[in-house]
Amino acid sequence: MGEVKNQLFLQHISKSLEEVRAEFRKKHTPKKDNRFLIRGITYEIGACRIDPDGYLFEISSKIPQEILSPKMGIDKYFKEVVKLINRKPKKPVDCKMENIVRSSEEEIKERDYVKLVYRYRESELYTPDEVEKNLRRHLAKGIPLPDAPGVATPMGKMVLHVLEESVKANIRQNLTDLLDANESIKKEIEGKSKAIPSGSTSKEENKPRKQPAVKKAPAKKAVAKKTAVKKTAVKSVKKPAPKGKAKAVPKKVKK
């Protein structure tokens, strides 16, 4: 019975993941292989798998190498994303940087991705009280029960319905957390690049250099000195005798 239940749950979880993929691809820019582009970064929702402790979901985003700086390389960018993600209420059970090579007829592309793996226990996806509450509401208001092929009981159909809605809500939140982390780091990089002009290496180098002060003699003293020189020059020059005038001849006295 456990194996049948797991397979049934996995089928409906996969359906929910596909709906979220389609939702994001419609809202944003769709790309190949069910990926989508949001604000210059490619995102992807992986498949679900089962382990003994619950259901595992994978989401990933491409590291935007084109905006990285010498101080914010690929490894540091990855660590910054993980640091921000681990501050969220739901933390991933595994964070890894993955190198993915995609080939086409035209070219081969090699990219580095941040991959986050989340685990949800069955008790996190639905509770019996939640299922019963939803079932009573549907029956009281005459709302048709969700279709679930292979499930006959109303309670079983409601379990699958609550499961699907819970998976969609959780995966949306996980994607939003990753999107917020990427945007926060992008703003940090852009802010630092604007603060330091291109070609500069430090703040000290950007400061204007002070020119050495040149001592100038006071203007009044300089004028006084020039005047003194002029006066000295005037004193040292003798006045020449007037030209064209004969010397005075003494008059003869009559005896």
Write the pLDDT tens digit of every residue in 101-121: 766 667 677 789 999 999 999
Count of CB atoms situated within 10 Å of the CB of 78: 18
Q: What DSSP letter does each residue of 17-66 carry, written as one string? A: HHHHHHHHHHHSEE-STT-EEETTEEEEE---EEETTEEEEEEEEE--GG
Write the pLDDT tens digit of every residue in 181-235: 999 999 998 887 666 554 444 444 444 445 545 555 555 544 444 444 444 444 4
Residue 82 in this model has a pLDDT that exceeds 90: yes
Write the pLDDT tens digit of every residue in 4-17: 889 999 999 999 99
Is this structure's pTM higher than 0.85?
A: no
What amino acid is encoded at 237 in this protein? V
Q: Locate the domains of the chain by residue range.
A: 2-195
Mean predicted lDDT score pLDDT of the chain: 82
